């Protein structure tokens, strides 16, 4: 069963994996090869690309390419043009004088249609440090907030969900009171359908207001692990997609979105609920009679990666964590010229965010300021071509973590993870169980 599910995941993510730079079932394929195999260079070392473009699987001849080069997530600083001779061209894309990433954007017109590609190259990114500063009372603030949240009674509603249950797994929809009385979060709990004691995995969600199901990671429970897939907004995850779309339009995007809600005051910022409610999920998981009493793992991607890291920093019950291209890292990075900041890119994709009040609040919620408090083993994975959670901030996160850590870097990856990476995370979690 596990092998069959893994093969299904491989097939699914193979299709998703080509959905950005090289669209699925497109006639045109870009093959761009840096002159350093790992896409990494020393500061001031010139970088070069070999570029090929194929149409219908055949090299395109005498094609003119437009290209531009600039810092990760920032405006281009250099433009140029190159011509494919005999189906290939070499482009000198320059260097950087400081650690970080450069983005090279390529454009070509073929029979009146425009095709685009991008690639990011790193220059000593292991030396990147955060721009965001840690407030002097950061620890005191969060200790007080955690203490206050713990006084809220835990109220649990548990509903069996036959749709996602099987001979191997029992699935339940959970409603938990958290953070403040009358505030709730939801999640799907999947438990191995057999006697025994099992490790527990807490999995917070990626960004957005959208329906969710436990299907893509149900192999954790099938393999002998309890798993809780969390919904942070207090909205039932099984509502019709149209209902979620209505809520998202009103409260999920732009300057009305939840990621900027309450940002003028550290006590009112929306993400406080998400951070503290994550601890309530741990309260719940550790009461389950099926839990083994030893292993409590946090695992998430993007916003979920951010919440996994924050949870491990705030709660010593976490024993290990895995985070993929985490969001909310060094968000004030944009305040430094030529530097990328973390998702949600408040200073380039929103308006009016660079006020003193907002910057002050952000420092209390930026993931990078939680990372020194993490003491457990960490597994991180990210790609260089990510335009949502850029490699600059993933490196900042990894460089700042002081506990035992391991990285799986997949340079060509954009804002997705492959089935093999998903499996590598599972194998790392399983290998570290006590």
Sign of CA dihedral 316, 294, 421, 169: negative
Of residues 393, 315, 416, the one with CA closest to residue 132: 393
Sign of CA dihedral 274, 278, 280, 285: positive
Ranges assigned E (strand) in 278-413:
291-301, 320-324, 378-382, 405-409
Task: Give the architecture-level CATH label for domain 21-127.
Answer: Sandwich (2.60)
Instruction: Give residue-wise pLDDT tens across range 144-169.
Output: 999 999 999 999 999 999 999 999 99
Domain boundary assignment for the chain = 21-127, 138-431
Q: Omega into 344 within 30° of 0, i.e. cis?
A: yes
Ranges assigned E (strand) in 204-317:
226-231, 291-301
pTM above the 0.85 mark?
yes
Instruction: Give residue-wise pLDDT tens across range 398-419.
Output: 999 999 999 999 999 999 999 9
Strand duo 88-94 + 47-55: pairing: antiparallel
Half-sphere exposure of 349 (CA within 13 A, CB side): 17
List Cβ<8 Å contacts ≥24 apart for 111-120: 115/28, 115/30, 115/53, 117/21, 117/22, 117/30, 117/32, 118/21, 118/385, 118/387, 119/32, 119/34, 119/39, 119/49, 119/384, 119/385, 120/39, 120/72, 120/384, 120/385, 120/390, 120/391
What positions carry a catalytic annotation?
302, 386, 415
CATH superfamily of 138-431: Alpha/Beta hydrolase fold, catalytic domain (3.40.50.1820)
Angle between helices 2-17 and 419-431 (to 10 degrees): 140
Tens-level pLDDT at each residue, the chain (434 residues): 444 344 334 434 333 333 467 667 889 999 999 999 999 999 999 999 999 999 999 999 999 999 999 999 999 999 999 999 989 999 999 999 999 999 999 999 999 999 999 999 999 999 999 999 999 999 999 999 999 999 999 999 999 999 999 999 999 999 999 999 999 999 999 999 999 999 999 999 999 998 899 999 999 999 999 999 999 999 999 888 888 888 878 776 778 789 999 999 999 999 999 999 999 999 999 999 999 999 999 999 999 999 999 999 999 999 999 999 999 999 999 999 999 999 999 999 999 999 999 999 999 999 999 999 999 999 999 999 999 999 999 999 999 999 999 999 999 999 999 999 999 999 999 999 99
Instruction: Give residue-wise pLDDT tens across range 47-68.
Output: 999 999 999 999 999 999 999 9
Of residues 195, 187, 191, the one with CA closest to residue 281: 187
| Whole-angstrom distance, CA of residue 67 vs CA of residue 62 | 16
Residues found in the chain: 434
């Amino acid at each position: 069963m596990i092998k069959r599910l893994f093969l299904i995941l491989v097939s699914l993510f193979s299709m998703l994996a080509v959905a950005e730079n090289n669209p699925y079932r497109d006639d045109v394929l870009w093959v761009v090869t840096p002159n350093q195999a790992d896409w990494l260079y020393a500061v001031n070392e010139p970088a070069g690309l070999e570029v090929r473009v194929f149409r219908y699987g055949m090299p395109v001849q005498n094609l003119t390419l437009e290209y531009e080069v600039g810092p990760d997530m920032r405006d281009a600083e250099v433009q140029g043009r190159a011509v494919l001779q005999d189906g290939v061209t070499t482009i000198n894309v320059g260097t950087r004088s400081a650690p970080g990433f450069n983005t090279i954007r390529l454009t070509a017109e073929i029979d009146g249609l425009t095709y685009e590609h991008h690639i990011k190259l790193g220059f000593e990114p292991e030396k990147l440090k955060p721009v965001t500063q840690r407030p002097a009372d950061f620890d005191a603030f969060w200790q007080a907030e955690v203490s206050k949240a713990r006084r809220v009674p835990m109220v649990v509603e548990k509903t069996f969900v036959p749709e996602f249950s099987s001979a191997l797994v029992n699935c339940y929809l959970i409603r938990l009171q958290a953070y403040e009385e009358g505030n709730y979060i939801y999640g799907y709990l999947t438990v191995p359908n057999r006697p025994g004691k099992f490790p527990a995995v807490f999995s917070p969600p990626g960004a957005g207001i959208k329906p969710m199901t436990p299907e893509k990671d149900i192999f954790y429970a099938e393999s002998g692990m309890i798993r809780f897939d969390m919904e942070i907004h207090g909205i039932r995850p099984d509502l019709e997609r149209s209902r979620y779309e209505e809520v998202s339009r009103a409260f999920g995007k732009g300057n009305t979105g939840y990621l900027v809600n309450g940002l003028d005051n550290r006590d009112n910022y929306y993400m406080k609920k998400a951070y503290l409610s994550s601890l309530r999920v741990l309260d719940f998981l550790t009461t389950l009679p099926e839990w083994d009493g030893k292993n409590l793992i946090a695992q998430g991607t993007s916003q979920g990666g951010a919440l996994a890291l924050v949870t491990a920093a705030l709660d010593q019950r976490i024993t290990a964590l895995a985070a993929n291209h985490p969001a909310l890292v060094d968000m004030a990075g944009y305040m430094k010229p030529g530097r990328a900041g973390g998702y949600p890119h408040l200073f380039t994709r929103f308006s009016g965010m660079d006020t003193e009040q907002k910057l002050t609040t952000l420092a209390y919620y930026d993931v990078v300021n939680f990372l020194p408090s993490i003491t457990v083993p960490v597994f991180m994975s990210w790609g260089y071509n990510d335009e949502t959670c850029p490699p600059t901030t993933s490196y900042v996160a990894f460089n700042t973590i002081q506990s035992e850590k391991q990285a799986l870097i997949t340079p060509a990856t954009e804002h997705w993870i492959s089935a093999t990476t998903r499996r590598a995370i599972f194998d790392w979690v399983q290998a570290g169980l006590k």
